[in-house]
Structure 1
Amino acid sequence: MQCQKVIPNALTFASILSACACVGALDKGAKIHEDILKQGLLDDDIVLGNALVNMYAKCCALTKASRVFEELPLWDVVSWNILITGYMEDGQGEEALDCFVHMEQNGILPDETTYICILKACGTLGALQKGQQIHEKISIQGLLQENVVIGTVLVDMYAKCGALQIAEQVLRELPSRDAVSWNALIAGYTQHGLAEEALNCLRQMQSDGFVPDSATLSSVLNACCHLGLVDKCLTYLVEMSIDHGVKPHLEHYTCMVDVFGRAGHLEKAVEIIRELPSSNHCVLWRALLGACHKWGDIKVGRWAFEQAVLLDRSDQAAYVLMYNLYRTFNMHAEAERIEVMRRRNATNHMQELAFTVMGIH
């Protein structure tokens, strides 16, 4: 286009900025920004301004995104949503909440996207009081009557803040809910160590006609793990696979290794790993190694450690677990050898990273 001396317009620039945002092409996006300024296109095009802020936000350049946002001549709800979402996705929940406050101070009415993002921020930060204030605003605008996603995020926010009774009440009062809504509550109970309540929620979910999915299985297996219900773990794994078509994933098998390991059934944990199509996952071996440390099984522990470091010789957790296992049995020479290995491989790993950054490899 440029080779043919055709001057890009605002629509073209917005499309290119969107592409830059998708692939994280910050340098290219910054160059486009310069071209836009030269043509003076930001003066009266809010869509282009939003695309520019979005590009910087998606490329994790939040300081620049905020600066560009402040310089825009016009803002709308989309402008604010882009910045709020950018902060949230970058792990800056407090900044997202501050941005929301400024949005309201500027007379912009939040929409569904705004509330979903802010509720997620409240859940991440454990900001229960702020979350309750947002809940009131959502109710006043009548958004819970027509948006199941907002309802689900609201349940999730209360659950993450530890207000599980409120979370369950909100769930039951939702005009429409789905399996994801139930999963949020089940996960909340599990994360706060209330495994019995999590399993009760599963039964209620099924009695209401909702089909469990992969996320449900993860929470249920974790709940059984907390309670030491080894047989129940197997039952749920088989039932959900046969009755509901839930295909177990790595996370599920890791949980099974963990639950058998915690219960002292190391031979069963090993059997699960051996029967997997692929055991090339450090998380499996760490789970087994952790169980070996708990029960003092040096033989299986050594095997698990060897497999873990074969997959990733810079896996710090594996070294620490094996070191502690040896120390438990006063095998100080072996423990020191593991520590030497850990330091050497950590140093080599950092050197490799440095070479990669420098473009040597």
Structure 2
Amino acid sequence: MQRENISPNSLTFSYVLKACGSIGAVDKGAEVHDLMAKQGLLGCDIVLSTALINMYTKFGALRNAQKVFEELPVKDAASWSALIVGYAENGSSEQALACFKKMQKDGHSPDIVTFICILKACGCLRAADEGTKVHERIAEQGFLVDNDVVLGTALLDMYAKCDVLTKARQVFEDLLVRNVVTWNALISGYAEHGDCREALKCFERMQCQGFSPDAVTYLCILKACGSTGAEVWGERFHHEIAKQGHWKNHVVLSTALIDMYVKCGAITKARQVLEELPVRDSVSWNALMIGYVKQGEASHARDCFEQMQCEGLLPDAASFSCMLIACSRLGLVEEAHSHFVNMNMKYGIMPDLEHYTCIIDVFGRAGYLTEALGLIQRMPFCNYNVWSTLLAACQKWGDVKTGKWAFEHAI
């Protein structure tokens, strides 16, 4: 088109921006943005600017999206919504909520898509009060939650994430139309807050009403079983999943099975699930390693770490946490220190507070208090757990001077 000297118009640009956002063509999108600027289209065409905001949010380039928005001489509901949706979908929940409030102060009414995204943001922030205000605003604008399964599910999910399960249940019961996503939101709410009994009741009621559980349903229900140690129920769901024949190729679901058995103390069954997998990843290995560490079988955790690497898998931050704990339990100071150093030097993983706390625990258990103290003094950050770990070591080895120093920092 451009080769034939035909200038694109606003509609053409809108379609191209949408295409760039859909396929993640960052460079091409920036090129189109520059071309629009040269033609003087920025700011004067709010529809086109909104398309530009949408594209940048699809890339996760929220600063660019915010800049385009701020340069608009006049903002409408669509441009506000585009920015709010972008923040919410990219995990910037606080910014999404702040924009939502500004939008309303400017006198613009949110649409259903905006409400769905802001409910998601409230859920992520566990902002029950803000979520309730959004619920009230939805009612004020005349949107019928009972008849809109997507909006109703978003509202239910928000209350569930905020641990307001009574309201979540009320929203659920009031819905005239439900789908498997709606059921999953309620089951997940109960599972997340440790109410295995209600999660199981919902699961059975769901099936009685003719809804077939999907992978997300099983992930939620396995989590509920693991959090309450309900191994018998967990095994029943394992058999149900096995009948469907898909779990071995579903790494996330397989890892959930391993995690469930681990939390129920059935480490042998967890190992069996892992060994039956045609493809394993570091997350599934980590789940098993955590199980061995919790069961006091640190040597088996070390074996898993080695076997994982023999399969060509690289350890991640969680893998090293497991190994440092295992080494601490086994008194392997040099090996633990080697892992701690190799995290960054060999694998490019920067140690976090958990890793520092683990290696200090290794030094402390073995009586290497000088080394532990030296490491703490070189740490870029520190917290109560670090100081209390050092304090426990000082108490064990009778180092009053260092213990007093650790105590002063801990409080």
| 1:134 alignment partner in structure 2 | 134
CA displacement 1:151-193 (0-9 Å, x = unmatched): 0010000000010111011100112222211110111111112
The alignment partner of 1:349 has SS state of coil
| 2:342 alignment partner in structure 1 | 344
Per-residue deviation at 1:345? 4.4
| 2:321 alignment partner in structure 1 | 320
CA displacement 1:277-334 (0-9 Å, x = unmatched): 223x1111111111111122244222211123344444232222122123223x23xx
| 1:106 alignment partner in structure 2 | 106
| 2:225 alignment partner in structure 1 | 224
Per-residue deviation at 1:260? 2.7
**Relative contact order higher in (CA < 8 Å, ≥ 6 apart):** 1
CA displacement 1:29-49 (0-9 Å, x = unmatched): 233223212222346533212
TM-score, length of structure 2 as denominator length: 0.78
Larger mean Cα displacement after TM superposition, 10-19 or 70-79:
70-79
Matched residue type, 1:146: N
Matched residue type, 1:309: Q
Larger mean Cα displacement after TM superposition, 33-42 or 213-222:
33-42
Alpha-carbon contact 1:313-1:345 (below 8 Å) kept: no
Alpha-carbon contact 2:327-2:335 (below 8 Å) kept: no
1:290 is the counterpart of 2:290: yes
TM-score, length of structure 1 as denominator length: 0.88
CA displacement 1:232-262 (0-9 Å, x = unmatched): 21211223554xx473222222222223333
Alpha-carbon contact 1:319-1:338 (below 8 Å) kept: no
Mapped partners of 1:323, 1:345: distance in 2:
11
The alignment partner of 1:4 has SS state of coil
Alpha-carbon contact 1:212-1:240 (below 8 Å) kept: no
1:152 is the counterpart of 2:150: no
Q: What does 1:11-50 correspond to in 2, within 5 Å?
A: 11-42=11-42, 44-50=44-50
Mapped partners of 1:246, 1:112: distance in 2:
38
1:278 is the counterpart of 2:279: yes
Mapped partners of 2:313, 2:344: distance in 1:
11
Matched residue type, 1:205: M
CA displacement 1:205-257 (0-9 Å, x = unmatched): 22333222211111111111112222221211223554xx4732222222222
Q: What does 1:74-89 correspond to in 2, within 5 Å?
A: 74-89=74-89
1:7 is the counterpart of 2:7: yes
Matched residue type, 1:76: D
Mapped partners of 1:304, 1:241: distance in 2:
25
Q: Which sections of structure 1, spanning at least 5 residues, go unmatched?
A: 352-361
Mark the CA change 1:81 to 1:209 in structure 2 (over 3 Å): closer, same or farther.
same
Cα RMSD after superposing both structures:
2.2
Mapped partners of 1:232, 1:43: distance in 2:
59
CA displacement 1:16-38 (0-9 Å, x = unmatched): 22222223333432332232122
Mapped partners of 1:283, 1:43: distance in 2:
47
| 1:357 alignment partner in structure 2 | none
Alpha-carbon contact 1:308-1:318 (below 8 Å) kept: no
How many residues get paired? 345
Identity %: 41
Larger mean Cα displacement after TM superposition, 151-160 or 37-46:
37-46
Alpha-carbon contact 1:316-1:342 (below 8 Å) kept: no
